[in-house]
């Protein structure tokens, strides 16, 4: 365990598995006190317990990031247990529809934007407000996607939400930078998680991705976690409004 984030308090949404879990583990390993959040407490508890077993400090708080009361309760729980929040990683996301954009139903559209855009903004606003109230610097990290930077056939609504996250990141970075609050985004490519199994498990899609990647493998959650830890730390003290692409060189070609 390192001390790069010693005495820092971090909230990681979507922390019960995949990228969010890996980020939570890495931040704790670097010394942060971590609050993992997602909708289901029973999915979070084993993650928090294993982080504690490894010597880290972590609690689990169930939270629906589309609901402001739940967000306020999450932030309050973090402050009560560990102290004021310094770091937010917005990672909770959904992608309920795969197919032509013209055929998406309103219910799937609304759900995608509620979680991927409104949830990110409400979490960022809640954490930024308490940072501003105490005049403290902080780091907000939004997990976007390479699909937010290009056309996203068959995943159009998801891509649109991730493009919105990039725009949100840059606007908040500009508006909050004077207060010492940095806001950056990570744009992962194809990462092997349960969330991406429909893509990773499809041999044709997987071959198409790997043929285009400079690094001939699928990304792992830990590949994103290291970047998040960097952005959370003082090593990235002069970075804000940036979108770091982590895709094995897929968008390079």
For residue 60, is it within any domain? yes
For residue 213, is it within any domain? no
pLDDT of residue 1: 61
For residue 72, is it within any domain? yes
Please tell me which residue in 97, 120, 158, 250 is annotated as part of the active site.
Answer: 158
Number of domains into which the chain is organized: 1
pLDDT of residue 194: 77
Structure confidence at residue 63 as a pLDDT band (50, 70, 90): very high
- How many other C-beta atoms are found inside a 10 Å radius of the C-beta of residue 35? 30
> Among this protein's residues, is 120 annotated catalytic?
no
For residue 197, is it within any domain? no
pLDDT of residue 45: 98
Instruction: List pLDDT tens digits, range 227-247.
Output: 999 999 999 999 999 999 999
Q: What is the CATH number of the domain that holds 105?
A: 3.40.50.720
Whether the per-residue pLDDT at 2 is higher than 80: the answer is: no
Residue 109's domain spans which residues? 9-191+220-247
Instruction: List pLDDT tens digits, range 6-23.
Output: 999 999 999 999 999 999
| DSSP strands (E only) in the chain | 9-13, 33-38, 57-62, 87-90, 138-143, 181-188, 243-246
Q: Give me the mean pLDDT over the 245-251 stretch.
A: 95
Task: Kindly report the pTM of this predicted structure.
Answer: 0.95
For residue 253, is it within any domain? no
For residue 196, is it within any domain? no
């Amino acid at each position: 365990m390192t001390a790069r984030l010693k005495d820092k308090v971090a909230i990681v949404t979507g922390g019960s598995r995949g990228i969010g879990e890996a980020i939570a583990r890495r931040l704790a390993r670097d010394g942060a006190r971590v609050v993992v959040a997602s909708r289901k407490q029973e999915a979070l508890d084993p993650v928090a317990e294993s982080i504690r077993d490894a010597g880290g400090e972590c609690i689990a708080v169930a939270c629906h990031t589309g609901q402001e009361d739940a967000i306020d309760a999450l932030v309050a729980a973090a402050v009560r247990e560990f102290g004021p929040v310094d770091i937010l990683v917005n990672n909770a996301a959904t992608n309920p529809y795969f197919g032509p954009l013209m055929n998406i139903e309103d219910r799937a559209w609304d759900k995608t934007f509620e979680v991927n855009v409104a949830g990110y903004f409400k979490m960022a606003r809640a954490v930024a407000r308490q940072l501003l109230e105490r005049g403290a610097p902080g780091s907000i990290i939004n997990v976007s996607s390479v699909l937010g930077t290009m056309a996203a056939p068959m995943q159009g609504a998801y891509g649109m939400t991730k493009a919105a996250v990039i725009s949100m990141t840059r606007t908040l970075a500009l508006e909050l930078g004077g207060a010492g609050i940095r806001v950056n985004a990570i744009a992962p490519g194809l990462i092997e998680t349960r969330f991406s199994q429909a893509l990773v498990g499809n041999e044709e899609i997987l071959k198409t991705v790997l043929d285009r990647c400079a690094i001939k493998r699928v990304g792992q959650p830990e590949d994103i976690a290291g970047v998040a830890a960097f952005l959370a730390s003082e090593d990235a003290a002069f970075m804000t409004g940036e979108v770091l692409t982590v895709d094995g060189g897929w968008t390079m070609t």
